Amino acid sequence: MNFGSDNQAGACEQVMKAVVAANAGNAHGYGTDPWSERATALLRQTFECDLEAFFVPTGTAANSLSLSCLAQPWEVLLCHNHAHVLNDEATAPEFFTGGARLIGISGRDSKLKPSHLEDYFKFAGKEYPHNSRATVLSITQASEDGLVYTPDEVATLSATARSHQLKVQMDGARFANAVAALGCAPADVSWRAGVDVLCLGATKNGALAAEVVLFFDKRLAGQFVHRRKRAGHLLSKSRFIGAQMEAWLTDGLWLKLATHANDCAATLAKGLASISGVRITQPTEANEVFVLLQKKTVDRLRAAGAEFYEWPIVSLPPEFTLMESEVYIRLVTSFLTTQDQIEKFCSLARGR
Amino acid sequence: MNFGSDNQAGACEQVMKAVVAANAGNAHGYGTDPWSERATALLRQTFECDLEAFFVPTGTAANSLSLSCLAQPWEVLLCHNHAHVLNDEATAPEFFTGGARLIGISGRDSKLKPSHLEDYFKFAGKEYPHNSRATVLSITQASEDGLVYTPDEVATLSATARSHQLKVQMDGARFANAVAALGCAPADVSWRAGVDVLCLGATKNGALAAEVVLFFDKRLAGQFVHRRKRAGHLLSKSRFIGAQMEAWLTDGLWLKLATHANDCAATLAKGLASISGVRITQPTEANEVFVLLQKKTVDRLRAAGAEFYEWPIVSLPPEFTLMESEVYIRLVTSFLTTQDQIEKFCSLARGR
Amino acid sequence: MNFGSDNQAGACEQVMKAVVAANAGNAHGYGTDPWSERATALLRQTFECDLEAFFVPTGTAANSLSLSCLAQPWEVLLCHNHAHVLNDEATAPEFFTGGARLIGISGRDSKLKPSHLEDYFKFAGKEYPHNSRATVLSITQASEDGLVYTPDEVATLSATARSHQLKVQMDGARFANAVAALGCAPADVSWRAGVDVLCLGATKNGALAAEVVLFFDKRLAGQFVHRRKRAGHLLSKSRFIGAQMEAWLTDGLWLKLATHANDCAATLAKGLASISGVRITQPTEANEVFVLLQKKTVDRLRAAGAEFYEWPIVSLPPEFTLMESEVYIRLVTSFLTTQDQIEKFCSLARGR
Amino acid sequence: MNFGSDNQAGACEQVMKAVVAANAGNAHGYGTDPWSERATALLRQTFECDLEAFFVPTGTAANSLSLSCLAQPWEVLLCHNHAHVLNDEATAPEFFTGGARLIGISGRDSKLKPSHLEDYFKFAGKEYPHNSRATVLSITQASEDGLVYTPDEVATLSATARSHQLKVQMDGARFANAVAALGCAPADVSWRAGVDVLCLGATKNGALAAEVVLFFDKRLAGQFVHRRKRAGHLLSKSRFIGAQMEAWLTDGLWLKLATHANDCAATLAKGLASISGVRITQPTEANEVFVLLQKKTVDRLRAAGAEFYEWPIVSLPPEFTLMESEVYIRLVTSFLTTQDQIEKFCSLARGR
């Protein structure tokens, strides 16, 4: 019963097989291997456009490297208050950008809205160079609260951003879950909706360690190759990251894995919602369920070996108030989650 | 006939098997997995001491992160003129240290000597803070010219360094080859010889992507965990790097792989040395052969599919002068190199 | 009628005389001149303690250099939402600290309170190294809203900060005005109240360009000399900054100048308060008056040559709502302000 | 008898007068004052072109800020082995550029020559992004060894630099002395000779603290305003730096001051050259004399109150060998140096 994080699942069978297969013989490295090239071709096909793709081993690297290509060190990047880039990557964005500033602009809202941008610019100082100018919007898809931005929502955010001369980066650590949930084309919720750069994560969804930064606006990509190298994120045996990505993209595997995880989350949420004393706090749109559980329930679950994390109260939607008997919990499902685990978890939560 | 680089070989069988085996089920990540813990225990056993170990996916990350724990941004790090950290990692050391300065001090000598340090300090300005103070010595073992520092040589360098208040870091991307060549205990050529921090690389010697930074002086390790995270080098599914390292260290596999590569290099060097018009420029002490070949020989080899890199003339020992008919070539052997490949290569070089 | 900023006044007579006098003959530089030494002695006397003093030409340099001695690049610095370090110094703190993060924690309150710190730590993630740890509190004295923290207030903030292992830095660009207003000993509102490092500014209060960073906890000062040099803030002809500081501190001149400015602000506030349609928004505690003026009043004043800045609406205390007919204005007085200017301004504001 | 450094002289009379005069009344700051504007106009007139000018208080700031506008953090800057930017500004260039690398390329030659560049590029690795690409050449005029590059020499260096896609920056801390020595138009040895950015220093030649960065290629100047602010080098009371620069440039004062200093150096060199046991090591082209003196002579001079610095042996031209009885000395003259001081110094050196 592991609902701790989707990165606590390993690699899916097909990805692991591809890694093993890629091991045969010698191969050129540093991104010049045929696996990486085929994966790039698949990405172009998947996103229906000519893009630049750069592979890196971690999501923090993907996010920070991409942001550093978009903002000067004296500029500001805007994001959701709960964004992973803001809260969970140490000060990696500052490190990679050379000291640009991240600002959360969403107040207590669970999703970024155009009005957050408008409010920011209404109040932001414009006495340059004394004040710092915002030049980037980062959107997390699916969000840290498990919510999915629709193509329309992304397009509206991007348009607002663009009206203020901002570039749009998307942290897509769970982009697969979002696309699976939306049932749209990947392009619809990325470049067609105004996203300039997408960090597409495979690690949380069945890879060992494989992320890719996609530049839809190729003019922005020029520094990436230098930034990746000097950050130590250019792998010598790059075939292994290319092979992961190739397998993950082939025959829509990435969306199948994500769909499974999403379905599991939906089932889990439905199961929990029917239990008295359990309060679901966010719509379950991707592969995460946010829930207020009774402390005693939590204890019982943990005693039975269930794994999950307590979640920051600051993320609780304003319409909820934590009661003293409650704990705020995040439950994450993955390609590896089984119906059995869900049933057992719900059963335990129900007190049986 | 791939002699391009040891990182063009994939992973050895045992390491790949361990990765596949580690994939079963869920596991905690971010370095808290049991594979990483067991690998750390093996490292302590292998090095016969209580050390701190941090796993990262690339050698550039290992080197730069370790150096950044040793030098302030206004300080100087000394190394060999041909050092990988100086020449082949973009400006990664500057990035990670926040702008400290690397200086090559070896002139045209193939190996670092205490006199290089003494000469440096004889001439270096000491008007602080105007001048920058050197506080770190980085030693590459085996060196970029394929040479191995003996325990005595390392100890003498370290002692000289320490007499000038320098810390000693070792870039051990090919440390396994050095230890295999020396036949000494790993400790003899690291902490017992005065090394404070060792970057031990498995990637070039049979792993997919696995390096570890070993702090023998644990007081120096405090910042590493923060620096690694904010550089995006803390892997979420850390079991896979732990599993590689565990397998690589088990039953002395790392030394067996390195011994094979070294033996291949020796055979290759011996074969080439007997060919007229071929000049070996460096003693073949580890798994690299440096050789001046006739251009027509190079063409013939390449036409037959042999892979290798032309090497910077600046690395040529001063007693050699490049003739117009010659090309300077580096040949690297790996755990994957076969006798057949060597024989075929020599035969082609011989013109048959 | 210049109420634009206290840095739009030049240097006071005594300071300028001292600069001219210091010009005679040759002198050692880079901080080793006798003027700087005498100024340091005066600082020790003024603050009744043994401190380390470092002179720099600008307030941004003073703040950023001092903060960089207190926080690691992966740490967080807390300050008021309106703090100069946060809003008006580009991303200088990030530049100097190597990418640490500044966070405003005061919401819409005009002054920092211990509860802001407590709230911050209640919600801040503590999963290191993923989350970033706050290690510094920066207090602006007098504040950007013209308010003065009492010794008790500073002591309580510092104690709260210290209970969370934070160091306390004070941006004292208008520290002189605060001390003049409080009538306390400089020590009472700095080190005796728990401040570790004070940036004491003379520039806004009668100097040409002279700021000093005072380390009361001398153990924190070790890096400053290196950081100042590599930031280009060590003046070669340092006698001129030393001479300014010496004259400014001699015979309490700094407090006389500040008292004059404060008195002018009080008179100005009193004059404006009696005018119908004028709303003073902050108590006038130092040398700044914050006021909501009718647009037509502003036009009339500007037409008559009065200078002042429109102020960010975001700084308006929550109990005030900007009316459409109003503009939010900051008026700053200086050692150079005259009764005549104040009377003329009030008279114009009154519509006569 | 101060020959320690030209920055140990204060400000010349006209500059100090201008500072005092500029003190009257209020003025806008942050570079928007009329003094700075007039100084900029004078700079355009002096250099016979439309340039961008940015004032900063120190030479380190000028050099580092200008270099940071020319090089990306992963690039290399080339300069003379004795260059001030390389040896005497801590690691300021690394700090401001975000970690670019400075490399001295002149070996033991006293002046940069095109062949140094050609040799560098002959040996420099070109495997990007692994190797770092050189993109900037920094020329020190007059050089740290007191030598003056002629317009032809600068033009040839610049042309060579440009043929390798390098931008050319000039550290002109003693540019005035160079122009005075050459008797050419300032433009002839700057933009007409291919210099993109000139750091023109007034501090060493009669100002209190005033340097200006001149962008002849205005397209390169866009980031400067941001970089200067976030480095704390934008002075609030900018009139004082503008006033210094205005006075310094008016009626060719800067060249008169420099000519005086140069003449003094020539006289001093001539006087010393005739003394037995004294060896002048460099032609005296600007305002510095480099000389090997007998230890006993040095002691006698110091005992009599003469001030000067021992100079790094590494700067000694290769045709000289330091004898055990000798000390290598740098003597700097300034606008303040008198004939009396020179005569007294020579007389003492002569042993009388």
CB proximity under 8 Å: B 87-126 to C: 98-99
Question: Rounded to an integer, what is the distance from CA D155 to the centroid of its chain?
Answer: 18
Distances (CA, A) of B242 to A59, A61, A207, B122, D342: 19, 20, 16, 44, 72
Best of C230, C248, C331 to disrupt the D interface by mutation (most D CBs within 10 Å)? C230
**Distance (Å, whole) CA A187 – CA A217:** 13
> Is residue D352 over pLDDT 90?
no
Least CB–CB distance from A88: residue in C89, C98, C131: C131
Taking residues D68-97, what's their average pLDDT?
98
A to D CB pairs, distance under 8 Å:
39
A219-237 tens-digit pLDDT: 999 999 999 999 999 999 9
pLDDT at C152: 98
Per-residue tokens: D89 = 């500004």
B129/C72 touch (CB, cutoff 8 Å), yes or no: no
- Residue D42 — pLDDT band, cuts 50, 70, 90? very high
**How far does the CA of residue C61 sit from the closest CA of chain D (Å)?**
5
What residues of chain D lie within 8 A of the CB of A73, using their CB? 98, 230
What DSSP designation does B108 have? T
A contact chains, 3+ CB pairs < 8 A: B, C, D
A61/B89 touch (CB, cutoff 8 Å), yes or no: no
Exposure pattern of A51-87 as b/e (b: 16+ CB <10 Å)?
bbbbbbbbbbbbbbbbbbbbbbbbbbbbbbbbbbbbb
Per-residue tokens: C314 = 């975001």
pLDDT at C321: 95
B101/D98 touch (CB, cutoff 8 Å), yes or no: no
Overall pTM surpassing 0.90 (yes/no): yes
Least CB–CB distance from B129: residue in C128, C130, C229: C229
pLDDT at B351: 87
Q: Which long-range contacts (CB under 8 A, 24 or more apart) does A38-42 make?
A: A38/A242, A38/A246, A39/A212, A39/A242, A39/A243, A39/A245, A39/A246, A39/A249, A42/A245, A42/A246, A42/A249, A42/A250
D26/C20 touch (CB, cutoff 8 Å), yes or no: no
**How far does the CA of residue B101 sit from the closest CA of chain D (Å)?**
7
ipTM: 0.97
> Is residue B1 over pLDDT 90?
no
Classify the C-alpha dihedral A192-A194-A196-A201 as positive or negative. negative
Nearest CA in chain B to A207: B237
B277-297 tens-digit pLDDT: 999 999 999 999 999 999 999
Q: Which of C220, C198, C222 is closest to C211 using CA atoms?
A: C198
Classify the C-alpha dihedral B32-B26-A85-A108 as positive or negative. negative
**How far does the CA of residue C5 sit from the closest CA of chain D (Å)?**
9
| A337 has a chain B CB within 8 A of its CB | no
A230/B92 touch (CB, cutoff 8 Å), yes or no: yes
**Distance (Å, whole) CA B209 – CA B288:** 21
**Distance (Å, whole) CA D112 – CA D81:** 9
**Tokens 């209640």 — which residue?**
C122
D92/C236 touch (CB, cutoff 8 Å), yes or no: no
List chain C residues with pLDDT less than 70.
352
What DSSP designation does D132 have? P
Least CB–CB distance from A231: residue in B16, B24, B95: B95
Q: Could you tell me which residues are beta bridge partners of residue C329?
A: C291, C310
Distances (CA, A) of C27 to C229, D176, D216: 19, 22, 35
D99/B102 touch (CB, cutoff 8 Å), yes or no: no
**Distance (Å, whole) CA D20 – CA C21:** 12
Residues in chain C: 352
End-to-end CA distance of chain C: 16
pLDDT at A1: 87
What residues of chain D lie within 8 A of the CB of C62, using their CB? 232
**How far does the CA of residue D171 sit from the closest CA of chain A (Å)?**
25
C contact chains, 3+ CB pairs < 8 A: A, B, D
What residues of chain B lie within 8 A of the CB of D136, using their CB? none
**Distance (Å, whole) CA D323 – CA D294:** 9
**How far does the CA of residue B253 sit from the closest CA of chain D (Å)?**
30
- Helices within chain B (DSSP H only): 13-22, 34-46, 59-68, 84-87, 92-97, 114-123, 151-163, 175-182, 224-230, 239-249, 253-273, 295-303, 339-350
pLDDT at C83: 97
Taking residues D228-250, what's their average pLDDT?
98
pLDDT at C96: 98
Nearest CA in chain C to A96: C99
A19-44 tens-digit pLDDT: 999 999 999 999 999 999 999 999 99
D229/C24 touch (CB, cutoff 8 Å), yes or no: no
**How far does the CA of residue D4 sit from the closest CA of chain C (Å)?**
9
CB proximity under 8 Å: D 211-250 to C: 226, 229-237, 239-240
Taking residues B39-60, what's their average pLDDT?
98
**How far does the CA of residue C214 sit from the closest CA of chain B (Å)?**
19
Exposure pattern of A169-207 as b/e (b: 16+ CB <10 Å)?
bbbbbbbbbbbbbbebebbbbbbbbbbbbbbbbbbbbbb
**How far does the CA of residue A33 sit from the closest CA of chain B (Å)?**
10
Nearest CA in chain B to A22: B10
Q: Which of C218, C223, C156, C167 is closest to C193 using CA atoms?
A: C156
Least CB–CB distance from D91: residue in C64, C209, C230: C230
A115-146 tens-digit pLDDT: 999 999 999 999 999 999 999 999 999 999 99
B315-343 tens-digit pLDDT: 999 999 999 999 999 999 999 999 999 99
Nearest CA in chain B to C224: B129
Best of C7, C26, C241 to disrupt the D interface by mutation (most D CBs within 10 Å)? C26
C231/D95 touch (CB, cutoff 8 Å), yes or no: yes
What residues of chain B lie within 8 A of the CB of D105, using their CB? none
Nearest CA in chain B to C100: B230
B186-218 tens-digit pLDDT: 999 999 999 999 999 999 999 999 999 999 999
**Tokens 């940071």 — which residue?**
D68
CB proximity under 8 Å: B 60-79 to C: 72-74
Q: Could you tell me which residues are beta bridge partners of residue C91?
A: C89
pLDDT at D1: 87
Per-residue tokens: D190 = 């700057």
pLDDT at B249: 98
B90/D130 touch (CB, cutoff 8 Å), yes or no: yes
Nearest CA in chain B to C74: B226
Nearest CA in chain D to C3: D26
**Distance (Å, whole) CA D77 – CA D92:** 13
**Distance (Å, whole) CA A188 – CA D284:** 71
Residue B165, Cβ neighbours under 10 Å: how many?
9
- Residue A351 — pLDDT band, cuts 50, 70, 90? confident
B225/C130 touch (CB, cutoff 8 Å), yes or no: no
Least CB–CB distance from C98: residue in B98, B130, B225: B98
Nearest CA in chain C to D1: C26
Which residues contact residue C299 at a Cβ distance below 8 angstroms, ignoring those fewer than 6 apart? none
A232/B64 touch (CB, cutoff 8 Å), yes or no: yes
Q: Counting Cβ atoms within 10 Å, is residue B152 exposed (0-12), middle (13-18) or buried (19+)?
A: exposed
A305-341 tens-digit pLDDT: 999 999 999 999 999 999 999 999 999 999 999 999 9
Per-residue tokens: D293 = 């003196």
The answer to whether the beta carbons of residues B17 and B247 sit under 8 Å apart is yes
Pairing between strand D133-140 and D75-79? Answer: parallel
What DSSP designation does B204 have? G
D123/B312 touch (CB, cutoff 8 Å), yes or no: yes
pLDDT at B162: 98
